Structure 1
Amino acid sequence: MVLNFAEASLINRKVTRRYNVVLEWNEPDAQDSEGGYTVLVPSLPPVVTEGDTREEALANAREAIACFLEYLIITGQPIPPDDEKGDNLVEVTV
């Protein structure tokens, strides 16, 4: 299996980052009888996810952040720096 430089770097070196996430509760309504959480990551604007519970939403946020960071690494793009503070810091290692 041949790897390019970015893929080899991804395999050989782990990167850990912490990002603040914003959880928004969505009230149940006629279209969505259960409600749930939407998660935004201000430092990573493309990353948006959701979950039925707070725990599920945070787990989905970790997965979405990890996928986005892996994409940045593979495509040779810079990884945004850690968020220094926030109410909901999520740590991800890729």
Structure 2
Amino acid sequence: MSKKTLWRTTPLFRVVIEEVLSKPEGILESEIIEILKKRYDIDVSKPELYQALIKLELNGFIRVEHIGKEMKVRPSKNMMDQLLGASR
């Protein structure tokens, strides 16, 4: 067991929102899990990912759509409006 599985310096929801914002067209949950493993060396379980997604959705940062057995995650319209407004 690596130290990264015991302790994370960046909260999971923060890493997830950064990846979702980098793909405003949407990203599948399986892609998020793959990116977390390859890019951040984070081995995350589906329940752990779902908890982070629920937290982000309830706070209005993302929208989650069910597509078959997968979920597609996109930044919420309000989040994109805030980001675009802040960059002007």
What TM-score does the superposition give when structure 1 sets the normalisation length?
0.27
Higher strand proportion (structure 1 or 2): 1
Larger % of helix: which? 2
Query: Higher Cα Rg: structure 1 or 2?
Result: 1
Pick 1 or 2: higher relative contact order, CA cutoff 8 A, min separation 6: 1
TM-score by length of 2: 0.28
